[in-house]
């Protein structure tokens, strides 16, 4: 079955992720210029979560258009919390699908280290409901509850869970653009500082700077945008039926596989949002990549490692590639592009033909799934 989308990614660009000296605009320009390869596009879509509060910069899409010499062509910013990057990609793909534009640049990024960590945490926590925030709820706290429940229901142990950051740190050592280039052990994870029981520091993605970009075109390219999907969920966690599955995931996956005309069993490689380790399990089950409550067994058996049946987070994931919030969705797209074009270097997955990215906005309340297919 043919996909409904019929647009292509023709090139990508990405900065080093990590604590960077450059400002947000410089990072967006670097990623954009690498993807543009000296060409112009018809329109620009910029994904960014909160440049106003992280950087004191407003009107960021125009700033970037101006800096790139892209004016007078259109430029638009998309903000969907930590799914801003993949939301911008989806908006750009839709604009090419519509026939209005032949090619667009999508670029997404964030500069987070310009403010101190408590201030950054405060900005990040604004995505939760004020009511639930008032009880002291945080993203880490919520993910801690998920981990406890998942462990209770499935038999996952604290040691098993540590294998996820261990795997992702290993992958990142093979990714020159990743935030961290350091192998870690299960013991390192278990000895790291407690953040929200049972989650420790090494279960949590770092605060990072970085940007990533792609050119989407109707004229063909090395990678096809086979499909995408988007779902939302109630903001208040108290209104949800379970913490072990997210309705926004189910809806996004349903729409993505429908538009792509593909099945979860067609996926060869995936980037799954794991700002906290436990999310890699819950999110990959919601994508239909594993049976409910069984992804951890596949992970423990090595199936999600680089050499496994379905490698997950080959880039290093949010944990080790880094997580500049608004930019991470586009970094996932770049990783899958590299995998499908055979350009992923030492972390190349053999014979990868179809890849999936899963990007989570807020506490799983605005999630986007993208399916890319290598051009045979």
- What is the three-class DSSP state of 11? strand
Residue in this structure with the two tokens 């380790």, named with its chain if needed: 277
Query: Is residue 95 a contact residue for its own copies (CB under 8 A)?
Result: yes
**CB of residue 22 to its own copies, shortest distance in Å:** 15
Q: Which of 290, 362, 372, 373 binds its own copies (CB under 8 A)?
A: 362
Q: Is the dihedral of CA 86, 123, 247, 158 positive or negative?
A: positive
* Minimum separation from the CB atom of position 117 to its own copies (A): 18
Q: Of 150, 152, 190, which Cα lies nearest the Cα of 296?
A: 150
Nearest approach in angstroms of CB 224 to its own copies is 16
Q: How far is the CB of 51 from its own copies (least distance, A)?
A: 10
Nearest distance from C-beta of residue 45 to its own copies, angstroms: 9
Give the per-residue contact string, 210-239, with its own copies (x = CB under 8 A; - = no). --------------------xxxxxxx---
Q: Is 91 in the site for its own copies (CB under 8 A)?
A: yes
Q: Report helix, strand or coil for 82.
A: strand
Nearest approach in angstroms of CB 80 to its own copies is: 6
CA distances from 199 to 146, 148, 350, 366 (A): 10, 9, 33, 23
DSSP 153-173: HH---HHHHHHHHHHHHHHHH
The secondary element (H helix, E strand) that includes residue 228 is: strand 223-232
Q: Pattern 12-51, binding to its own copies, x per CB under 8 A?
A: -------------------------------x-----xx-
Q: Does 366 engage in binding with its own copies (CB under 8 A)? A: yes
Nearer to its own copies, 338 or 369 (CB): 369
Instruction: Please report, to the nearest 10 degrees, the dihedral formed by the alpha carbons of residues 259, 265, 271, 276 taken in order.
Output: 110
Nearer to its own copies (CB atom), residue 39 or residue 309? 39
Among 37, 59, 159, 176, binds its own copies (CB under 8 A): 59
Residues 241-270 that bind its own copies (CB under 8 A): 247-248, 250-251, 255, 259
Segment near its own copies (CB under 8 A), from 11-19, 121-129, 186-194, 316-324? 121-129
Neighbours of 301 (CB within 10 A): 11
Q: For residue 261, give the H/E element and its range.
A: none
Among 19, 26, 73, 148, binds its own copies (CB under 8 A): 73
Which two structure tokens, joined as six digits, stand for 105?
């640049």
* Both tokens assigned to 111: 């500069």
Q: Which of 41, 65, 147, 226 binds its own copies (CB under 8 A)?
A: 65
81 binds its own copies (CB under 8 A): yes
- Is the CB of 57 or the CB of 174 nearer to its own copies? 57
Q: What is d(CA 17, CA 15) in angstroms, rounded to the nearest whole number?
A: 6
C-alpha triplet 367, 12, 371: angle, nearest 5°: 35
273 binds its own copies (CB under 8 A): no
Q: Are 255 and 231 in contact (CB under 8 A)?
A: yes
* Of 37, 39, 40, 100, the one binding its own copies by CB under 8 A: 100
CB of 203 to its own copies, least distance (A): 23
The reply on whether position 79 binds its own copies by CB under 8 A is: yes
DSSP class of residue 207 equals P
In the bound complex, what is the minimum distance in angstroms from residue 27's beta carbon to its own copies? 17
What's the Cα-to-Cα distance from 156 to each of 17, 146, 147, 293, 346, rounded to whole Å? 31, 12, 9, 9, 30
Question: In Å, how far are 77, 111, 161, 321 from 326, measured between CA atoms?
Answer: 11, 9, 26, 14
Question: CA end-to-end span of the chain, whole Å?
Answer: 15
Is position 76 an interface residue for its own copies (rule: CB under 8 A)? yes
Closest separation between CB of residue 306 and its own copies, Å?
33
Q: Map the footprint of its own copies across residues 156-195, applying CB under 8 A.
A: none
The enclosing H or E element of 90 equals helix 84-97
Q: Which residues bind its own copies (CB under 8 A)?
A: 4, 43, 49-50, 52-53, 56-59, 61-63, 65-67, 70-81, 87, 90-91, 94-95, 97-100, 123, 126-127, 129, 230-236, 247-248, 250-251, 255, 259, 361-362, 365-366
């Amino acid at each position: 079955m043919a996909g409904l989308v019929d647009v292509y990614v023709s090139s990508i660009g990405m900065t080093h992720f990590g604590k960077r000296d450059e400002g947000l605009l410089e990072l967006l320009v670097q990623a954009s210029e690498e993807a543009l390869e000296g060409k112009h596009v018809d329109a620009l879509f910029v994904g960014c979560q909160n440049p106003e509060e992280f950087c004191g910069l407003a009107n960021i899409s125009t700033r970037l258009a101006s800096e790139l010499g892209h004016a007078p062509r259109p430029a638009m910013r998309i903000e969907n919390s930590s799914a801003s990057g993949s939301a911008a990609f989806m908006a750009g793909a839709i604009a090419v699908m519509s026939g209005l534009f032949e090619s667009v640049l999508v670029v997404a990024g964030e500069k987070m280290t310009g403010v101190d960590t408590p201030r950054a945490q405060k900005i990040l926590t604004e995505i939760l409901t004020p009511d639930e925030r008032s009880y002291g709820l945080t993203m880490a706290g919520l993910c801690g509850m998920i981990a406890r429940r998942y462990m209770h229901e499935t038999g996952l142990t604290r040691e098993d869970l540590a294998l996820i950051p261990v795997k992702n740190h290993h992958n990142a050592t093979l990714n020159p653009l990743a935030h961290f280039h350091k192998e870690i052990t299960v013991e390192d994870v278990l000895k790291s500082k407690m953040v929200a029981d049972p989650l420790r520091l090494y279960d949590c993605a770092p605060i990072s700077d970085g940007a990533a970009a792609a050119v989407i075109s109707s004229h063909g390219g090395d990678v096809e945008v086979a499909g995408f999907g988007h779902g939302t969920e109630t903001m208040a966690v108290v209104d949800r039926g379970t913490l072990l599955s997210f309705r926004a995931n189910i809806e996004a996956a349903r729409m993505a596989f429908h538009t792509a005309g593909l099945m979860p069993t067609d996926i060869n490689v995936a980037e799954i949002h794991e700002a906290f380790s436990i999310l890699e399990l819950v999110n990959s089950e919601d994508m239909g990549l594993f049976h409910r409550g069984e992804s951890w067994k596949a992970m423990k058996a090595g199936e999600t490692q680089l050499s496994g049946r379905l490698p997950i987070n080959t880039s290093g994931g949010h944990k080790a590639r880094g997580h500049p919030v608004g930019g991470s969705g586009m970094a996932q797209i770049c990783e899958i592009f590299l995998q499908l074009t055979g350009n992923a270097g030492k972390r190349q997955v053999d014979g990868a033909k179809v890849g999936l990215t899963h990007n989570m906005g807020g506490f799983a309340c605005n999630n986007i799934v993208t399916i890319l297919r290598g051009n045979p």
